[in-house]
Amino acid sequence: MLKKTTPATPEKIEQISLDALVPQNHLVRKIAKVIDFEFIREAVAPLYCPNNGRPAEDPVRLFKIMLLGYLFGILSERRLVQEIQVNLAYRWFLGMGLTEKVIDASTLSQNRRRFNDSEIYQQIFDNIVEQAIAKGLISGRVLYTDSTHLKANANKGKSRNEQRIVEPSQYVDALNQAINEERELNGKKP
């Protein structure tokens, strides 16, 4: 007599939340804890037509995407979209699920160009900096960067400190330049 067998039972599928996978000390968590990005909706409302065309991408998410690129030095929108696709902390920061589709790089570019024609980047940047100062996240006085220390043959008596102003538009200009270079390599118009 043949013995009836039952199919192997699938292993218990473990439920994991995206929140549990992002380290508590990650920079995006620190930012999300102290910065309220909701002001962006009202700030960009005049740039959108409320009753014409397809539904708009969430402007808060669009600006958070640009902030990620700026913070982590990602100078290509295509590369930025790829990083969001695989980086759990970025997805958490943007309020995305594990399987949610990331916006297309061209959509990001088109929206960035729309915003670039106004002063909105500067207004948003200023608001975020003001919130960060108010919460004690930054002082607005000193910028520290990672660096490699090399022995140099320089005259210490001739050194000088300079204050440099870095505008958010410099990052946007770098993105535009990267897009134009990529298009040129592929034989497309700028």
Query: For 75-123, how does the pLDDT look when each residue is reduced to its tens digit (9 = 90+)?
Result: 899 999 999 999 999 999 999 988 899 999 988 888 888 777 678 888 8
* Helix pair 59-71, 77-86: axis angle to 10 deg: 100
**pLDDT at residue 81, rounded to an integer:** 95
Residue 170: partners with Cβ closer than 8 Å, 6 or more residues away: none
Start-to-end C-alpha separation, the chain: 76
pLDDT band of 2, cuts 50, 70, 90: low
Query: What is residue 190's three-state secondary structure?
Result: coil
CA–CA gap between residue 109 and residue 176 (Å, rounded): 9
Sign, CA torsion 131/137/140/146: negative
Average pLDDT over all residues of the chain: 81
- Widest distance between CA atoms in the chain: 97
The answer, yes or no, to whether residue 37 has pLDDT greater than 60, is yes
CA nearest neighbour of 124 among 112, 141, 137, 135: 112
From the list 69, 89, 73, the residue with the least C-alpha distance to 81 is 69
pLDDT of residue 160 exceeding 60: yes
Query: What is the average per-residue pLDDT within 119-135?
Result: 87
**pLDDT digits 0-9 by tens, 58-69:** 889 999 998 999
pLDDT value of position 56: 73
pLDDT at 8: 53
pLDDT for 44: 85
pLDDT band at residue 74, thresholds of 50, 70 and 90? very high
